[in-house]
């Protein structure tokens, strides 16, 4: 057998890494499907709970210049199917300079149980974690629910979250599903819709089915107040406070459940620039969390340590591998360096493409009205467009993180710009 | 170790021993024939890369002669005495002295080429002789009862040699037919000195009329399966060999023991299936030619396409030759021996090699196959010969020439061209030539080539007919009459045994095969899931 060159080895390693992740996602897809079938039968029991047995919950809504969306969010939450005596709604008006404060004052007349916590600099404007920690101080409920300011939860969402978390003492948090309210606005929002559905059914449901692992997604989740207090609230230095919180909840010995029946509708970016900024924050945040915990992986609870490794694999190894194989492909095309191995690499690529489409389409089929032909075609297109943008995005995030590391600059919380829909 | 090879070739050789020798033995045969070549200076003005004298030396390597050369200006009285044959090359116009012409014409045989023949005619007193000088627009050549097309732009020196002359070849256009080769008294004349088809054949013919030749009459062709390397598909090669076996003809295979292509490198001993095919060929009627070591070098890196012993980029020999040449020859021989393959001859990739490398090569091989590069300045000065020679440029090596060409898969006339050339070659009393066919081409094409050449009355020759040897530090190969013997210090691999380095299909291949089974399975499974979901849609989703 001929000697493999270093380039060959690199190529094989990257291809192997890509396929390990692809096949893992196949496994998760099947888990998501199984979880879908299972949740149809079991959840009725949990949710058939009388009002008197429901716990008192405090809903935290951090809001920073949310005049376009806050009224609708407050309406949706306050009109929810939950006994009002057990519902405390706290909107944290975090140094808003627009009409958010005025709108909230108006809403307080409408809903007496609505509390508004107003933060002003130097206390406010320090990001979502800070707002949530301040909201927590005012909260009286044993359970904390968080909604982003652009969310409109369905009427029964809060009830489902609450009834699920009291069903098992080992449950530290319960995460609901979020859907894209403005999915039909343009191609970007359509792609985001596909992405969020497939992420939730594949990564959230699939991981929960197989390993009882779910990530808190920052909105539409309930968490035990005592856990939050025990772990010292939300971390101020984490850009993705939700992922970070997830790790700590698991590390305390609890688990988190994802339930598809608790639905909130949120507004996604409609402009590429906005999307890019928001997702770069996520990517940077997740990389921060990964780099922070991968070094402590052996001190973590075993279940979550695997998840940290999985995220490490996705963000670092997978992206590096794809970029490496792309670079080798370009080097080969330009004749600068060639692989000495030959193989049906084109077929391998086609197979990975087919798998991608199928995985995504199965996730879509689990969502009513989404498993249609149009979305099938969109998925096929998404691979070459939206997915490729992620590579740019991750590179951008890496570059920005490195730059900040070198210049010693701290992070800046970019708040997603809203549009009125 | 001795292997018996090709009983048919031995039988044919034996029968031919009974046949008569070449009939055209004109000159003295008792002692070595002395030949002098007289030329006008500068003799390579029209094509500075092509050395006419060197080409003559190679041509005369077919005969048993002593060769001297003399520039006509350097002639002095009595200098031409004692020569059996005087060859005069009238490569430029010159008024020759009567005394010199007298001395030339007093030689037993004179071969006069191209210009200045009118001076000799005057000395000879040929009253009816008429010289036309340089002529062109002649389109057809007739010789030995055959004809072939001519390039009309090629100038020829034509004359009307008189009633007493015997016409040996003529050329014609729409109007005239004129002698281009003739004999009158002891003078042979050829109106065109050109070492390529078809004038190389006229020259060969006239030389055979003058000089004694011990070759038996008949037309022999060597079939060479070309450019076989570790990348060659062994199944296709086997099919080509099967065609030769079907026709019961001997053949040779030009093998390059290492191959490089687009960053990939492979050696023959790794190509187990190919080794099996080659060994089988070697054990039956095939002989192996070592076709370089890599058939490539740093200036032309692709095996099969590249030069090896020449730098085509700068049009010069490789730096550090002959050391480079020696290393490549030894490395190639070792790899062949490792594969259990023992070559009988050498062929340089693209026939390109400098005189230094030829000298080095002659220490290792007795036999060369192909054209001869006459210059150290360009590889394009390549000499075709219509018969075997003992080369001057490849010191003492026997050269199996190559003149019939090859099958270019893009040329629909390729086989017809080969046949046309083969036919016209028959103006010679005997021919030894070669045709080659690439190892990657289809067996049908080879079938056509063999058929068309056989129809011209040719016999396929074995490279092992005549004595040959190959020598290196570790390997000795020798043979004749179709036998191949060798002694080698290099243990050959067993192609049937599992390669100690070979771990079954590579893990990449295994991985791909695994995926090839897994992914369609997953596709079907996922398809079923989607189908199931759609079927049960109304029951699964909450109405709302």
pLDDT digits (tens, 9 = 90+) for B80-91: 988 999 999 998
The residue of chain B nearest to residue A11, with distances taken between CA atoms, is B508
Residues from chain B that touch A365, judged by Cβ atoms under 8 A, are: 529-530, 533-534
Q: Which long-range contacts (CB under 8 A, 24 or more apart) does A39-44 make?
A: A39/A259, A39/A260, A39/A261, A40/B540, A43/A160, A43/A164, A43/A259, A43/A261
- Give me the mean pLDDT over the B449-470 stretch: 94
Q: Closest Cα to residue B8, out of B254, B251, B279?
A: B251
Contact B502 A1 (CB under 8 A): yes
pLDDT of amino acid B506: 66
Question: Does residue B169 contact residue B181 with C-beta atoms inside 8 Å?
Answer: yes
Residues from chain A that touch B533, judged by Cβ atoms under 8 A, are: 33, 362, 365-366, 371
The residue of chain B nearest to residue A39, with distances taken between CA atoms, is B540
Neighbours of B380 (CB within 10 A): 13
Residue B30 is encoded by which pair of tokens? 């008792």
**3-class DSSP state for residue B180?**
strand
Residue B67 is encoded by which pair of tokens? 């060769």
- H-only helix segments in A172-257: 187-198, 206-211, 225-230, 241-251
Mean pLDDT estimate for chain B: 86
* pLDDT of B540 higher than 60: no
The residue of chain A nearest to residue B264, with distances taken between CA atoms, is A340
3-state helix, strand, coil in chain B (%, to 5): 30, 25, 45
Contacts of A268 (CB under 8 A, 6+ apart): A180, A181, A182, A183, A189, A192, A193, A196, A275
Q: At what angle do helices A241-251 and A128-138 cross, to 10 degrees?
A: 60
Q: Using 50, 70 and 90 to split pLDDT, how confident is the model at B543?
A: very low
Q: Is the pTM of this model over 0.80?
A: no
Contact B264 A342 (CB under 8 A): yes
**3-class DSSP state for residue A35?**
helix
pLDDT of amino acid B525: 86
Tell which B residues from 232 to 271 touch A, by Cβ distance under 8 Å: 262-266, 270
Quote the CA–CA distance of A40 and B235 in Å, as a whole number.
60
In this predicted model, what pLDDT tens digit does every residue of A292-309 receive, in sequence order? 888 888 888 888 888 888
Query: A308 or A417: whose pLDDT is higher?
Result: A308
**3-class DSSP state for residue A75?**
helix
**3-class DSSP state for residue A259?**
strand
Q: For residue B303, give how far its alpha carbon lies from the nearest alpha carbon of chain A (Å).
A: 14
What is the number of alpha carbons within 13 Å of residue A147 lying toward its C-beta? 33
Which of B519, B529, B534 minimises the CB distance to A33?
B529
Contact B530 A371 (CB under 8 A): yes
Residues from chain B that touch A348, judged by Cβ atoms under 8 A, are: 512, 515
Question: Does residue A62 contact residue A90 with C-beta atoms inside 8 Å?
Answer: no
* pLDDT of A25 higher than 80: yes
Residue A211 is encoded by which pair of tokens? 């390993």
Contacts of B327 (CB under 8 A, 6+ apart): none
Quote the CA–CA distance of B255 and B258 in Å, as a whole number.
9
Look at the block and give the residue holding tokens 């958010």. A100
The residue of chain A nearest to residue B520, with distances taken between CA atoms, is A351
Q: Using 50, 70 and 90 to split pLDDT, how confident is the model at B157?
A: very high
Q: Closest Cα to residue B168, out of B143, B199, B132, B204?
A: B143
pLDDT of amino acid A418: 64
Neighbours of A34 (CB within 10 A): 15
% of residues, chain A, pLDDT over 90 = 35
Question: Does residue A153 contact residue A81 with C-beta atoms inside 8 Å?
Answer: no
Furthest-apart CA pair in chain B: how many Å? 124
In this predicted model, what pLDDT tens digit does every residue of A29-68 receive, in sequence order? 999 999 988 887 766 667 788 888 899 999 999 999 888 8
Which of A1, A40, A341 minimises the CB distance to B503?
A1
Q: What angle do CA A169, A171, A174 make, to 5 degrees?
A: 140
Q: Are strands B177-184 and B187-190 parallel, antiparallel or unpaired?
A: antiparallel
Q: Which of B302, B533, B535, B542 to mutate to test the interface with A (most CBs of A within 10 A)?
A: B533
**3-class DSSP state for residue A132?**
helix
Question: Does residue B173 contact residue B138 with C-beta atoms inside 8 Å?
Answer: yes
Cα–Cα distances in angstroms (integers) from residue B453 to residues A123, B223, B422, B433, in the given order: 100, 10, 7, 11
Question: Does residue B419 contact residue B456 with C-beta atoms inside 8 Å?
Answer: yes
Q: For residue B327, give how far its alpha carbon lies from the nearest alpha carbon of chain A (Å).
A: 22
Lowest mean pLDDT among A237-251, A253-267, B68-82: A237-251
In this predicted model, what pLDDT tens digit does every residue of B164-211 receive, in sequence order? 999 999 999 988 899 999 999 999 999 999 888 999 999 999 999 999
Quote the CA–CA distance of B93 and B296 in Å, as a whole number.
44
Quote the CA–CA distance of B515 and B521 in Å, as a whole number.
9
Quote the CA–CA distance of B192 and B181 in Å, as a whole number.
9
pLDDT of amino acid B433: 92
pLDDT of amino acid A4: 64
Q: Closest Cα to residue A280, out of A239, A219, A229, A320?
A: A239
Q: Of all helices (H) and strands (E), which one includes residue A256?
A: strand A255-266
Cα–Cα distances in angstroms (integers) from residue B90 to residues B35, B192, B298, in the given order: 16, 10, 43
* pLDDT of B3 higher than 50: no
Q: Using 50, 70 and 90 to split pLDDT, how confident is the model at B11?
A: very low
* pLDDT of A21 higher than 90: no
Question: Does residue B401 contact residue B386 with C-beta atoms inside 8 Å?
Answer: yes
Q: Which of B260, B523, B530 to mutate to test the interface with A (most CBs of A within 10 A)?
A: B530
Residue B139 touches partner A, C-beta closer than 8 Å:
no
The residue of chain B nearest to residue A376, with distances taken between CA atoms, is B530
pLDDT of amino acid A421: 55
Lowest mean pLDDT among A48-57, A316-325, B494-503: B494-503
Q: Closest Cα to residue A318, out of A358, A275, A286, A279?
A: A286
Residue A82 is encoded by which pair of tokens? 């939950």
Quote the CA–CA distance of B529 and B534 in Å, as a whole number.
9
Residue B19 is encoded by which pair of tokens? 């046949």
- Give me the mean pLDDT over the A9-19 stretch: 83
pLDDT of amino acid A412: 53
**Using alpha carbons only, how large is chain A's radius of gyration in Å?**
22
DSSP assignments along B434-464, one per residue: EEEEETTS-HHHHHHHHHHHHHTT-EEPPTT
Q: Using 50, 70 and 90 to split pLDDT, how confident is the model at B377?
A: confident
Q: For residue B266, give how far its alpha carbon lies from the nearest alpha carbon of chain A (Å).
A: 7
E strands within B51-196? 65-71, 85-90, 109-114, 130-135, 140-143, 146-149, 156-160, 166-172, 177-184, 187-190
Query: B140 or B403: whose pLDDT is higher?
Result: B140
% of residues, chain B, pLDDT over 90 = 61
* pLDDT of B14 higher than 70: no
Contacts of B540 (CB under 8 A, 6+ apart): A36, A37, A40, B533
Neighbours of A126 (CB within 10 A): 17
pLDDT of amino acid B541: 54
Cα–Cα distances in angstroms (integers) from residue A144 to residues A114, A136, B457, B512, B532, in the given order: 15, 8, 102, 50, 38
Question: Does residue A46 contact residue A167 with C-beta atoms inside 8 Å?
Answer: yes
Quote the CA–CA distance of A240 and A128 in Å, as a whole number.
9
**Using alpha carbons only, how large is chain B's radius of gyration in Å?**
29
Mean pLDDT estimate for chain A: 86
């Amino acid at each position: 057998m001929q000697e493999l060159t270093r380039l060959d080895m690199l190529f094989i390693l990257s291809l192997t890494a890509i396929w390990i992740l692809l096949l893992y996602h196949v496994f998760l897809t099947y888990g998501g499907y199984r979880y879908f079938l299972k949740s149809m039968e079991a959840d009725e029991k949990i949710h058939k709970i009388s009002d008197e047995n429901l716990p008192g919950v405090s809903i935290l809504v951090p809001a920073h210049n949310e005049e376009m969306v806050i009224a609708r969010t407050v309406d949706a939450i306050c009109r929810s199917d939950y006994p009002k005596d057990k519902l405390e709604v706290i909107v944290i008006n975090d140094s808003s300079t627009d009409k958010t404060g005025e709108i909230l004052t108006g809403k307080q007349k409408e809903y007496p149980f609505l509390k508004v916590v107003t933060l002003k600099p130097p206390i406010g404007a320090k990001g979502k974690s800070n707002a949530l920690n301040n909201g927590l101080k005012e909260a009286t409920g044993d359970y904390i629910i968080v909604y982003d300011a652009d969310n409109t939860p369905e009427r029964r969402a809060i009830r489902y979250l609450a009834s699920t978390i009291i069903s098992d003492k080992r449950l530290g948090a319960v995460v609901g599903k979020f859907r894209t309210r403005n999915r039909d606005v343009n191609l970007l929002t359509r792609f985001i819709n596909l992405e969020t559905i497939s992420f939730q059914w594949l990564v959230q449901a699939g991981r929960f089915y197989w390993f009882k692992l779910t990530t808190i997604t920052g909105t539409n989740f309930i968490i035990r107040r005592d856990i939050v207090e025990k772990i010292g609230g939300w971390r101020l230095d984490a850009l993705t406070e939700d992922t970070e919180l997830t790790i700590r909840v698991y590390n305390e010995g609890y688990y988190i459940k994802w339930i598809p029946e608790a639905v909130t509708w949120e507004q996604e970016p409609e402009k590429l620039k906005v999307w890019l900024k928001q997702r770069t924050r996520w990517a940077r945040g997740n990389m921060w969390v990964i780099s922070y915990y991968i070094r402590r992986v052996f001190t973590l609870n075993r279940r979550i340590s695997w998840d940290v490794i999985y995220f490490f694999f996705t963000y670092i190894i997978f992206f590096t591998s794809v970029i490496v194989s792309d670079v080798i492909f370009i080097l080969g095309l330009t004749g600068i360096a060639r692989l000495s191995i030959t193989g049906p690499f084109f077929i391998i690529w086609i197979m990975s493409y087919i798998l991608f489409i199928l995985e995504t389409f199965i996730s879509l089929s689990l969502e009513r009205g989404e498993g249609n032909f149009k979305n099938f075609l969109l998925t096929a297109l998404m691979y070459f467009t939206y997915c490729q943008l992620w590579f740019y995005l991750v590179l951008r995030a890496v570059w920005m993180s490195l730059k900040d590391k070198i210049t010693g600059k701290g992070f800046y919380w970019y708040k997603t710009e809203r549009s009125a829909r | 170790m001795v292997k018996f090879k090709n009983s048919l070739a031995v039988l044919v050789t034996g029968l031919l021993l009974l046949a008569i020798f070449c009939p055209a033995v004109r000159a003295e045969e008792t002692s070595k024939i002395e030949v002098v070549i007289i030329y006008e200076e500068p003799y390579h003005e029209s094509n500075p890369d092509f050395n006419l004298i060197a080409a003559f030396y190679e041509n005369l390597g077919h005969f048993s002669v002593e060769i001297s050369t003399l520039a006509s200006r350097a002639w002095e009285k009595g200098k031409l005495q004692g020569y059996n044959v005087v060859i005069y090359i009238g490569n430029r116009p010159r008024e020759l002295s009567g005394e010199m012409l007298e001395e030339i014409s007093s030689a037993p045989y004179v071969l006069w080429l191209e210009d200045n023949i009118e001076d000799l005619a005057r000395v000879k007193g040929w009253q009816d002789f008429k010289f036309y000088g340089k002529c062109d627009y002649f389109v057809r050549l007739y010789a030995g009862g055959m004809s072939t097309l001519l390039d009309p732009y090629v100038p020829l020196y034509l004359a009307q040699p008189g009633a007493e002359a015997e016409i040996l070849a003529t050329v014609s256009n729409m109007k005239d037919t004129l002698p281009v080769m003739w004999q009158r008294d002891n003078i042979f004349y050829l109106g065109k000195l050109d070492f390529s088809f078809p004038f190389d054949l006229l020259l060969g013919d006239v030389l055979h009329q003058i000089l004694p030749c011990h070759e038996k009459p008949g037309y022999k062709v060597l079939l060479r399966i070309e450019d076989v390397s570790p990348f060659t598909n062994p199944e296709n090669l086997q099919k080509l060999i099967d065609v030769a076996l079907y026709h019961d003809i001997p053949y040779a295979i030009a093998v390059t023991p290492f191959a490089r292509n687009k960053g990939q490198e492979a050696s023959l001993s790794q190509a187990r299936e190919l080794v099996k095919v080659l060994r089988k060929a070697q054990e039956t009627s095939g002989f192996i030619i070592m076709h370089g070591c890599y058939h490539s070098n740093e200036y032309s890196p692709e095996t099969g396409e590249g030069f090896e012993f020449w730098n085509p980029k700068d049009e010069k020999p490789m730096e550090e030759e002959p050391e480079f040449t020696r290393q490549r020859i030894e490395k190639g021989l070792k790899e062949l021996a490792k594969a259990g393959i023992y070559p009988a001859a050498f062929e340089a990739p693209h026939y390109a090699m400098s005189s230094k490398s030829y000298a080095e090569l002659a220490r290792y091989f007795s036999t060369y196959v192909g054209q001869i590069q006459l210059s150290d300045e360009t590889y394009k000065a390549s000499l075709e010969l219509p018969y075997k020679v003992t080369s001057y440029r490849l010191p003492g090596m026997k050269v199996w020439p190559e003149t019939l060409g090859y099958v270019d898969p893009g040329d629909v006339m390729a086989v017809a061209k080969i046949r046309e050339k083969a036919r016209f070659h028959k103006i010679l009393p005997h021919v030894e030539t070669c045709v080659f066919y690439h190892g990657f081409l289809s067996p049908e094409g080879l079938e056509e080539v063999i058929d068309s050449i056989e129809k011209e009355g040719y016999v396929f020759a074995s490279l092992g007919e005549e004595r040959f040897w190959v020598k290196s530090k570790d390997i000795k190969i020798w043979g004749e009459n179709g036998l191949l013997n060798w002694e080698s210090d290099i243990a050959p691999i067993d192609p049937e045994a599992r390669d100690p380095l070979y771990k079954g299909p590579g893990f990449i291949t295994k991985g791909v095969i695994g995926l090839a089974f897994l992914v369609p399975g997953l596709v079907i499974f996922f398809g079923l899931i989607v189908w199931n979901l759609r079927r049960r849609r109304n029951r699964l989703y909450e109405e709302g």
